[in-house]
Structure 1
Amino acid sequence: MTLKKKKKQAKYFEQIRVFQRHLNYVRSVKFSPDATKIVSSSCDRTVRIWNLRSGKEIQMIVEHSNYVNDAQFSPDGNTIVSCSDDKTIRLWDVHSISKIRKLEGHSHAVTSVQFSSNGSTIVSSSCDQTIRLWSVQSGQEIKRFRGHMDWINDVQFSPDNQMLVSASDDKTIIIWNIQSGEKIHTFIGHSNYVTRAQFSPNGQLIVSGSWDTTVRIWDVKSTKELKILNGHSDWVFDVKFSPYGQTVVSCSRDKTIRIWNVKTGSEIDRLEGHEERVSGVDISADVNNLACFEFLHRYLTHFIKQTELKKNLTYKKNFGKLSNIFCHHQQMSSIKTFVTIGTKKYQLELTSLKLAGFKQQILEVSKDEQREDVLIKVTANNECNIDTDGDLE
């Protein structure tokens, strides 16, 4: 694999590899829930699964008869859903790559798909100006939502699966009540096509991106526009909340990826130097990885961020300055931490250690002698919420 010219160095993220196998333009990129794989879709009519660490293609799915516009993993990581200009939605078993079922009903290209957080339903948007809700188990259409006056580019579930948010070429964002199928509110403010809209992890905010070059933050309860994030000089193609909701990532025709502070609206970081417009971006659940693709290019770019632990470190012995802490999310009950102390490797004994975002203290610290890693275990009911914006002090 030949690595493309590296992008301009950003503050927090560094390019580490490029994924190259697609034979036509890439249309979407999404991380698996455990941040070990990537799924991509392309105008070459394929869906491809990649090993994040090695950069190698694991599987290629060839079944759609037209451009594949979107693909994503189910919450448990065992299923992939894809949608296409061929008007269909398809479900795949990740391990066997066998087709589970095909969902049909849209009368035009299907632009986006998403699993509900419990994995039982799928929502889709289409150029036929409808949003449709589907049963994963039966493949049957459950409900249809109408209200947009032009192509619908994106639709997403709220975290509690009670609402949907959609973005359209009619320049509006609509939130919908899933149970009743009715509109809750239409957000008006963008002056051009709205390409993406997404709920924050707590469901209280919505972020949207538009061809009017702005990223906007909206309050769900009050329906007020809270912030306009200005900085991009051309169309905004994609926006994503970070898993903790403190930051937003956006990408644009201006060939940049920008990271924003949600609270202040200020730009935190910028990834520049892309050869083409950046058409899509995703950030992994552990916040350590960012992936993007560029318009008219056939490859994905992978950036990585070193995650730091935040504060509250106490030593039984003074080993010296602690450096190079990197957290790798293995499962909900453990965090694997790679530690370098000065120039030597020691058994690190911690009497008090808290990860920002965890409710309780660490229960066990043990050493992996083969890899000289420190394995830090927490209670299984704690979610893996690491604050990656903090510094080690």
Structure 2
Amino acid sequence: MDGVNKISVTLSGTQAEELNSALAEYLQRNGYQKTFETFVDESGATVKNDVQHVGLMEKKWSMTLRLQQRIINLEKRIQELESGGIIAPRHKDLKSSATWIPRPPEKLTLNGHRDSVMKVVFHPTYSVLLSCSEDHTIKIWDLETGQLERSFKAHLSTIQDLCFDATGNRFASCSADASIKIWDFGDSYDCLKTLRGHSHTVSSVVFVPNKSWILSASRDGTIRLWDTTTGFCTQTFEEHEDWVRRVCIDQQGQLFASCSNDKSIIVWCLNTKKPLSKLIGHTHVIECVLFVPQEHNNKIAGDHMKKYANEHDVKPTLIISAGRDRVIKIWDALSGACLMDLEGHDNWIRDMVLHPSGAYLISVADDKCMRVWSMEETQRCRVINAHDHFIYSVDFHKRLPYVATGCTDSTIKVWECR
């Protein structure tokens, strides 16, 4: 249909079955017999005539209309409060608010896990947070209310990592049970695929941009590339000599990097499946690594970075790493040159995340602190005493002014940025 915007919505198998059943029941009950028969023949829908399902289509439609009106009324009320200066504006573009950083006290403390929180990750769009734990569960939290929306046992052992795909329609988890699972993010949270092939703990997982692939890293010393459509492993990378702690990928999906207990970082070309460089400089296990988006290069150490780029006649691809030597290192990924060190943590650094504007780096460690590093003035650092125990994970919402931290005491804290 010309001039009509088409919106693609992917339903899980269970959701599609329920929708078809409700639609078939509606057609039959309202006398659209020919349409009903054709629809049932083509869709394979089964009509459910119990009390729970009769009239379900009308109930869903009425509920949608009521919710839409409620949202409109709430949005109007919030706008009135914002314009009157009674509350702070909510959904500003973080990239235009480069000075926004997490500030104490915490906005929310989320309790529910029964063991160490291994990973916290925000939905790319919604005000929703996912967490995973040594208690084998994944929990889904509403950031507006602080309420636990959903909890389910996802693996047979500690869940090490979580990540969303770019759309937010799917997320992946990996575990000490040596498996990776891909989940539907929706009403049902169905497990869409279980990927097996690693022979030990899977410690990291990431979706490849614009591809139906994911990368995983494992204690078995390998990185694996998986086809999420078939569930098959298509490539195994074996350059590391010990546990591979983390794998990350650049925005374009062309390069990925891995860090290991062997104290090295390897930068790989995804197209050729070959290593491009090996970064040596850490003196202990490297816990985390991330790429700096190219557009943020000019935010990193200002004059120092310009001088390096001019001297080498390159626009460097920057990588940041951190680990148990308590040092954060900034590297030129392709030359292997370490450009600078950031020191300040008093214990193992566990995780870090770049501010959406590129102006700050936030790191967490076993010293119970969250540090906010200025990327332009790298010696300037704000220290927040965030938890009473080791902090394993940190994430920054891409659109909303929130930072989350996950701790070994089983708590999660959400910090508002301003």
Q: 1: CA distance between counterparts of 2:382 and 2:112? A: 29
TM-score for both structures, normalised by structure 1: 0.72
Q: 1: CA distance between counterparts of 2:294 and 2:402? A: 21
Q: Which residue of 2 aligns with 1:99?
A: 191
> In the TM superposition, what is the alpha-carbon distance from 1:73 to its structure 2 partner?
1.7
Q: Which residue of 2 aligns with 1:271?
A: 384
> In the TM superposition, what is the alpha-carbon distance from 1:262 to its structure 2 partner?
2.2
Q: 2: CA distance between counterparts of 1:199 and 1:277? A: 25
Q: Which residue of 1 aligns with 2:160?
A: 69
Aligned residue among 283, 286, 302 for 2:414: 302
In structure 2, stretches of 5+ residues that fail to align are: 1-99, 296-316
Aligned residue among 161, 172, 179 for 2:271: 179
> In the TM superposition, what is the alpha-carbon distance from 1:256 to its structure 2 partner?
0.6
> In the TM superposition, what is the alpha-carbon distance from 1:287 to its structure 2 partner?
5.8
Aligned-pair Cα RMSD in Å: 1.7
Deviations 1:106-156 (A, max 9, x none): 000100111122252111000000001111222111211111111011001
Q: 2: CA distance between counterparts of 1:35 and 1:258? A: 26
Verify: 1:217 aligned to 2:330, yes or no: yes
TM-score for both structures, normalised by structure 2: 0.68
Contact 1:74-1:119 at 8 Å conserved across structures: no
Q: 1: CA distance between counterparts of 2:277 and 2:400? A: 31
The one-letter code sitting in structure 1 at the alignment partner of 2:153 is V
* Secondary structure class of the residue paired with 2:272: coil
Q: 2: CA distance between counterparts of 1:81 and 1:166? A: 18
Q: Which residue of 1 aligns with 2:396?
A: 283
Q: 2: CA distance between counterparts of 1:293 and 1:99? A: 24
- How many residue pairs get matched? 296
Contact 1:144-1:181 at 8 Å conserved across structures: no
> In the TM superposition, what is the alpha-carbon distance from 1:190 to its structure 2 partner?
0.5
Identity %: 30
Verify: 1:143 aligned to 2:256, yes or no: no
Q: Higher helix share goes to which structure?
A: 2
Larger relative contact order (CA 8 Å, sep ≥ 6): 2
* Secondary structure class of the residue paired with 1:81: strand
Q: 2: CA distance between counterparts of 1:118 and 1:18? A: 35
Contact 1:59-1:97 at 8 Å conserved across structures: no
Please tell me whether Structure 1 or Structure 2 has the larger radius of gyration of its CA atoms: 2
Q: 1: CA distance between counterparts of 2:126 and 2:388? A: 26
Contact 1:35-1:52 at 8 Å conserved across structures: no
Contact 1:121-1:135 at 8 Å conserved across structures: yes
Q: Which residue of 2 aligns with 1:163?
A: 255
Contact 1:250-1:258 at 8 Å conserved across structures: yes
Q: 1: CA distance between counterparts of 2:339 and 2:126? A: 31
Q: Higher strand share goes to which structure?
A: 1
Aligned residue among 131, 137, 140 for 1:46: 137
Q: 2: CA distance between counterparts of 1:38 and 1:12? A: 16
Contact 2:101-2:417 at 8 Å conserved across structures: no
In structure 1, stretches of 5+ residues that fail to align are: 1-9, 307-393
Q: 2: CA distance between counterparts of 1:283 and 1:128? A: 30
Contact 1:11-1:269 at 8 Å conserved across structures: no
Q: 2: CA distance between counterparts of 1:230 and 1:89? A: 34
Q: Which residue of 2 aligns with 1:18?
A: 109
Q: Which residue of 1 aligns with 2:290?
A: 198
* Secondary structure class of the residue paired with 1:149: coil
The one-letter code sitting in structure 1 at the alignment partner of 2:227 is S
Q: 1: CA distance between counterparts of 2:206 and 2:199? A: 19
* Secondary structure class of the residue paired with 1:76: coil
Q: Which residue of 1 aligns with 2:17?
A: none
Q: 2: CA distance between counterparts of 1:222 and 1:173? A: 12
> In the TM superposition, what is the alpha-carbon distance from 1:245 to its structure 2 partner?
2.3
Q: 2: CA distance between counterparts of 1:233 and 1:63? A: 34
